[in-house]
A and B are shown apart, each in its own frame.
Chain A
Amino acid sequence: MIFAICLVALLFFIGLALDAGVIYVNYGQLKRAVDAAAVSAAQEFKRRGTDNYTRMLERIRLAALETIALQGMNTNPTVLELNVYVCNDANGNRLASLQTTVPQFYALCPDTTIAGQSRSKLVWVEAKQYTPFYFLHLLGFSGITLKTNSVGEAAPVDLVIVIDTSESMASEPNGAYPYNGQDFDPDDYTSGCNPGTSHPNTCQPLKSAKDAAKALVATMMDGYDRVSIVNFDTVAVATTLSFNLTDVNTAIDNLRLHDDPPAARLWGNWFPGGSFGRVNPVNPEDRDGDGRDADPARPCTLNNTRWDTTQDPYGWGGVPCDDDNVLDAFDWDMSGSYTTADTTLAAQYLANHDPDGAGPLKASFSLASTCTGCGIRVGSNVLKSTGRPGALWVMVFLTDGTTNLSDTYGPSGTPGVGDTPRSMSTWTSVTGWTSFPNGFCTGYYGTTTPQFWNKGCLDQSNTVRYCLYTDQSMCPPGTTRHTGTPQYSVYDYAMDMVDEAALLKSTRATERRGNNITIYTIGLGEAVTPASPPATLPTGERLMRYMAAVGDDGDRTTDPCNGIAVKTNCGNYYYAPQGSALLTIFEDIASRIYTRISQ
């Protein structure tokens, strides 16, 4: 008898234990499903097309429901009750109703009325599942409702769009626009390059780049994500990271092409047939490479053609000779001889081409105008200085040329008119910077090597990457420390700026690391991959691919483009043969700026 009683009691406990086991298993499965649903829901916390707030909430809910169903859960409303909450209403205000419905979630939502707090892409997924009992059912207990919740958060995005605004962005390969690369003024061009009262702002491929950039901005969430627009040519200028996407679009519309000084109007003997070497490409007024117009170390006999035939050390039939007191490197009026009008027009050019319209940046006479390193540096500085720590930092970089300029430091003291202007004052982590008054466009003509100016500032000996750090252990592995002669190039500079922006891993423990910035690069047109000359020019597509290799995972050694043919998309690098391809590429990038789930 007593054993019969014990047996019943034991059976009772076994039944109870089995029901408890069923509850545990169901709860485990429900928790897994809700966790996955929270990830799925957070990922839908982004703008898609013309969806409004209500539609977004519906998408979030359906995404959560679908993900729960995929885990094999019964999503029948009689079994599963799903509730999804976000922090803010359609106007971006914190939902007061959360205080009573889900107070735990309300406590997580930032109070945007407090200065410094911005909206969060938080999603609260809560599910209740009815679980039937098996044993206890015999005793009249039919089942229990299990309840669990999970929070998903998509990181907000701080996006910097860097666009090359050098003059060549008015040149569409095989296009209808008659940019000749020599004497083109985007402000005067009546078919419309630069926006203005009489210009339709339709110059290609710049217009396509603007449209594509605006399409990318359209995928950001107003009030949550921020965007900055950086344009670069001889210098780089940034707008502040802004929540207001309308302002961002206006900034994109207002992007203006840089008007390069007219190389075709250099004195004929200075630049015959577009040949390089006789003139300082960063500042034609500066012949001895010290950053100043005054060149006392290179005395010459001045005449009206600015060509001194009394000396011919290089077999050119003479040497360039300019007046140190006037702006006379260009024959602006094309008269064939120097007149005061040339100085006047040169001064007007400088006055009318203030890079940011607000000083202290100054216009220059630089013939080179693709300072890729400047764009990277300014873009990453925007994120480093004002990016939100919890946000996803993204840089989208578009260029149509090869890097041929670095930031310039300018001469010591206050630069005078005709001197190389300073465009950089913050990157002082290396020594020896002041010995590069023309940036890293090295050369001069003189009696010692190199005698001539570097060919268009391009890096001609790219087989070695040079490093400026005095401490070799801080240099990237495989690089050679710069030792004084002109070795460190604009290409080296651009790569260093990439590393400062995004390098997170290195085989050398002591190498300086950068920040966690995801970089997507776009090479536009033939110029980024010139077939000739020189055939191996690395400063275009190879630089873009280096940026993408570092910018995808912070590791330069993992390069998805390794072994991939030129002019081919790979990893975070895109090649656009012409402007019309940009929209598709920017859309693709928008889809790949994937939500980082922070919770």
Chain B
Amino acid sequence: MMCKVLARIFKRISIPRLRKGQSFVELALVLPVLLLMLMGLMEVAFFIGKYLDVLDLTREAARFASVRDPFNNPLADSNCLTDGFDFYFDVSCVLAPPTCTCTKTDPWCWCNGLNRYANLNMATDDIVISIYTISGNTVTDAHPKSPKGVALAGGVGYIWAFSDNDNDTSHNSNWQKDCRGNVVRNLPHFTIPVVNSYMQQNAQPAKGYVAVELYYCHSQLLNLPFVSDIIPNPMMTHAYTIMPIPAAMPSPTPTTSP
């Protein structure tokens, strides 16, 4: 059928019959390449779409964090559904899927968030939250310290990592690893020196910033041959947003009495 149609077309455009065979050979040669390019384009488009999703999610999470108080969270609450406020866990809840099967009585519950698009994998993905207190346009303190958070290597800050606080205790510090579990980094994007490097000298010298980083393993949708040999599948996608947080502004009063 297809051949008949092509034959009619070729007749109309007056292509000599002898050249038809050559065209089919060309088609056979080029079609796989064209298809590969088209599918590669689709794969790239999906990846860009997913990247924009996770970028927006970090923005929402940072926005949520920016108007809350990280130092007023006495509860170790690992449940996105309950009223108990745990700053770090609740911020990460923004990146959770909207619905879930867990109930308020479950001790660990991960849902109630905005994320309809990128299902986080507890075994490979991670959310990293860090807070910086800036005085005199220099980071003078970072949070969260132990027991909420952990210190970074080299004393360049503290972080709260979702993978250290989820119910999958066999996969911790995912942010240090690639999607296959190999340790590839020992620092997140934001550290004290990195934040310091962006400080404007004439800006307000006292302020606080909260950074939300998302390490997300993106699985290729089409999983094309050759492509996955060149580009790892799944591939680590890293998005982040840093926003001001007034609650982390330097405080002249320590927690003990003056």
A29 to B15, alpha carbons, bound, how many Å? 51
Contact yes or no, B256 A568, CB < 8 A: yes
Contact yes or no, B243 A39, CB < 8 A: yes
- With contacts A2-B23, A70-B242 taken as known, whether A581 is within 8 angstroms of B44 at the C-beta atoms is no
A265 to B75, alpha carbons, bound, how many Å? 53
A2 to B26, alpha carbons, bound, how many Å? 9
Place the interface of chain A in its size category.
35 or more
Residues of B within 8 A of A21 (CB): 44-45, 48
Q: Which one, A58-66, A220-228, A413-421, is touching chain B?
A: A58-66
13 A-B interface contacts by CB (under 8 A)? A21-B48, A39-B243, A43-B244, A59-B203, A62-B204, A63-B244, A66-B198, A72-B240, A552-B72, A558-B84, A568-B255, A569-B254, A574-B253
Q: Which of A71, A560, A594 contacts B246 (CB 8 A)?
A: A594
Residues of A within 8 A of B254 (CB): 569
A67 to B251, alpha carbons, bound, how many Å? 21
Task: Tell me the minimal C-beta distance from B222 to chain A in angstroms.
Answer: 15
Q: Which of A71, A569, A591 contacts B257 (CB 8 A)?
A: A569
**A7 near B: Cβ within 8 Å?**
yes
**A427 near B: Cβ within 8 Å?**
no
Residues of A within 8 A of B147 (CB): none
**A347 near B: Cβ within 8 Å?**
no
Contact yes or no, B56 A6, CB < 8 A: no
Chain B, 4-43, CB within 8 A of any chain A CB? 23, 26-27, 30, 33-34, 37-38, 41
The 3 closest A-B pairs by CB, nearest first: A594-B246, A62-B203, A588-B253
16 more CB-based (< 8 A) A-B contacts, given A21-B48, A62-B202, A591-B206:
A2-B23, A7-B33, A17-B41, A17-B44, A24-B48, A29-B55, A32-B241, A39-B66, A48-B204, A58-B202, A63-B204, A66-B199, A560-B72, A568-B256, A591-B246, A597-B67
Residues of B within 8 A of A69 (CB): 198, 200
**A555 near B: Cβ within 8 Å?**
yes
**A198 near B: Cβ within 8 Å?**
no
- With contacts A39-B243, A592-B247 taken as known, whether A581 is within 8 angstroms of B202 at the C-beta atoms is no
**A577 near B: Cβ within 8 Å?**
yes
Residues of B within 8 A of A28 (CB): 51-52, 55-56
Chain A, 475-501, CB within 8 A of any chain B CB? none
**A146 near B: Cβ within 8 Å?**
no
A304 to B59, alpha carbons, bound, how many Å? 80
Residues of A within 8 A of B84 (CB): 558
A3 to B23, alpha carbons, bound, how many Å? 8
Contact yes or no, A585 B253, CB < 8 A: yes
A568 to B44, alpha carbons, bound, how many Å? 57
Contact yes or no, A32 B256, CB < 8 A: no
Residues of B within 8 A of A574 (CB): 253, 257
Contact yes or no, B246 A595, CB < 8 A: yes
Residues of A within 8 A of B202 (CB): 58, 62
Residues of B within 8 A of A62 (CB): 200, 202-204
**A571 near B: Cβ within 8 Å?**
yes
Contact yes or no, B45 A6, CB < 8 A: no
Task: Tell me the minimal C-beta distance from B47 to chain A in angstroms.
Answer: 9
Contact yes or no, B243 A67, CB < 8 A: yes
Chain B, 185-237, CB within 8 A of any chain A CB? 195, 198-200, 202-204, 206-207, 209
Q: Which of B34, B251, B258 contacts A592 (CB 8 A)?
A: B251
Chain A, 341-395, CB within 8 A of any chain B CB? none
**B62 near A: Cβ within 8 Å?**
yes
Interface residues of B (CB under 8 A from A): 23, 26-27, 30, 33-34, 37-38, 41, 44-45, 48, 51-52, 55-56, 58-59, 62-63, 66-67, 69, 72, 74-75, 83-85, 195, 198-200, 202-204, 206-207, 209, 240-244, 246-247, 249-258
Q: Which residue of B lies closest to A14 (CB)?
A: B41
A573 to B67, alpha carbons, bound, how many Å? 20
Residues of B within 8 A of A567 (CB): 257
Residues of B within 8 A of A558 (CB): 72, 74-75, 84-85
Q: Which residue of A lies closest to B257 (CB)?
A: A575
Contact yes or no, A562 B74, CB < 8 A: yes
A577 to B257, alpha carbons, bound, how many Å? 8
Contact yes or no, B72 A67, CB < 8 A: no
Residues of B within 8 A of A18 (CB): 41, 44
**A505 near B: Cβ within 8 Å?**
yes
Residues of B within 8 A of A35 (CB): 59, 63
Task: Tell me the minimal C-beta distance from B13 to chain A in angstroms.
Answer: 9
Q: Which of A3, A6, A25, A70 contacts B48 (CB 8 A)?
A: A25
Residues of A within 8 A of B249 (CB): 591-592, 594
A530 to B210, alpha carbons, bound, how many Å? 40
Contact yes or no, B242 A581, CB < 8 A: no
Contact yes or no, B74 A560, CB < 8 A: yes
**A584 near B: Cβ within 8 Å?**
yes
Q: Which residue of A lies closest to B245 (CB)?
A: A594
Residues of B within 8 A of A552 (CB): 69, 72
Q: Which of B30, B75, B250 contacts A3 (CB 8 A)?
A: B30
Q: Which residue of B lies closest to A44 (CB)?
A: B204
A28 to B85, alpha carbons, bound, how many Å? 30
A567 to B257, alpha carbons, bound, how many Å? 7
A70 to B59, alpha carbons, bound, how many Å? 13
Contact yes or no, B204 A59, CB < 8 A: yes
**A253 near B: Cβ within 8 Å?**
no
Chain A, 542-587, CB within 8 A of any chain B CB? 552-553, 555, 558-560, 562, 567-571, 574-577, 581, 584-585, 587
A558 to B51, alpha carbons, bound, how many Å? 37
Task: Tell me the minimal C-beta distance from A71 to chain B in angstroms.
Answer: 7
Contact yes or no, A70 B30, CB < 8 A: no
Task: Tell me the minimal C-beta distance from B229 to chain A in angstroms.
Answer: 20
**A40 near B: Cβ within 8 Å?**
yes
Residues of A within 8 A of B45 (CB): 17, 21
Residues of A within 8 A of B251 (CB): 588, 591-592
Residues of A within 8 A of B23 (CB): 2-3
Contact yes or no, B30 A7, CB < 8 A: yes
A552 to B198, alpha carbons, bound, how many Å? 33
Contact yes or no, B243 A505, CB < 8 A: no
**A455 near B: Cβ within 8 Å?**
no
**A96 near B: Cβ within 8 Å?**
no
- With contacts A10-B38, A21-B44 taken as known, whether A569 is within 8 angstroms of B256 at the C-beta atoms is yes
Q: Which residue of A lies closest to B203 (CB)?
A: A62
Residues of A within 8 A of B255 (CB): 568-570
Residues of A within 8 A of B199 (CB): 66
Contact yes or no, A568 B243, CB < 8 A: no
Contact yes or no, B30 A36, CB < 8 A: no
**A596 near B: Cβ within 8 Å?**
yes
Q: Which residue of A lies closest to B19 (CB)?
A: A1
A29 to B59, alpha carbons, bound, how many Å? 10
A219 to B41, alpha carbons, bound, how many Å? 55
A43 to B199, alpha carbons, bound, how many Å? 16
Residues of B within 8 A of A10 (CB): 34, 37-38
Chain A, 198-254, CB within 8 A of any chain B CB? none
- With contacts A10-B34, A21-B48, A43-B246 taken as known, whether A70 is within 8 angstroms of B257 at the C-beta atoms is no
Contact yes or no, A6 B242, CB < 8 A: no
A584 to B258, alpha carbons, bound, how many Å? 8
A335 to B204, alpha carbons, bound, how many Å? 66
Residues of A within 8 A of B38 (CB): 10
Task: Tell me the minimal C-beta distance from B43 to chain A in angstroms.
Answer: 11
Residues of A within 8 A of B209 (CB): 70
Contact yes or no, B244 A67, CB < 8 A: yes
